[in-house]
Amino acid sequence: MNAQIVHCTPGRLRIKIPAARHNIAFFSDLQQKLLSAEGISSVTINPTAASLVIVHDGDVDPRAVCRSLPGLAVTSFAMCPHTKAIARGDSERGNDTDLVFLLAKLLPLIFAGHPIARLAEIVGEPILRAVVEDMMRPRSYRLPVTAKEEEELVAIAA
């Protein structure tokens, strides 16, 4: 049976097997065989989409994982580089700024009948970014808003 690598990142491999679409028994059997292999931490099957996702240790070569699949001729190895994953910090994920961007783009659409909507988009995005950045900072790193808060922080620290 032919299988194709459709997505490959360090530690994760997604394979499609079109000929086995809707064959639950085939995918379940394949899942059990792969889970027994060393270095494989999880296998998620989707018989409806004719695909499976293999999560493996960074030290496992995805090509070797593919070759170990019984009865399958796996193609598209060129799409599957073998590299180590690079850890990213939370600040690089961009979840908070993605929300800000979405709000800055959607709010003017909601109020599109108003002539000031475009100006709100241009001015609002940097303000929203600053507010979200301040809210995402741990409380101990926020700048005090008033002199009273500053005195309270000094008293707590002492």
> Same domain for 73 and 110?
no
Task: Kindly state whether residue 58 falls inside one of the protein's structural domains.
Answer: yes
Domain termination residue (choose one: 58, 79, 100):
79
> Same domain for 72 and 10?
yes
Q: Are 20 and 47 in contact (CB under 8 A)?
A: yes
pLDDT, averaged per 10 consecutive residues of the chain (158 residues), comes to 84 88 90 85 91 85 71 66 48 57 69 67 72 66 58 70
Sheet strands (E) in the chain = 2-9, 12-16, 40-46, 51-56, 73-75
- Give the count of domains, the chain: 2
Domain termination residue (choose one: 47, 79, 111):
79
> Same domain for 98 and 73?
no
> Same domain for 65 and 113?
no
Alpha helix positions (H), 50-143: 62-67, 95-110, 117-136
Task: Kindly state whether residue 84 falls inside one of the protein's structural domains.
Answer: no
So what's the pLDDT on residue 46?
92
So what's the pLDDT on residue 92?
47
> Same domain for 74 and 124?
no
CB atoms closer than 10 angstroms to residue 122: 10
pTM across the whole model: 0.49
Domain termination residue (choose one: 18, 46, 79):
79
Indicate which CATH number applies to the domain containing 15. Answer: 3.30.1360.10
Q: Which domain range does residue 31 map to?
A: 2-79
Cα–Cα dist 62/53, whole Å: 12
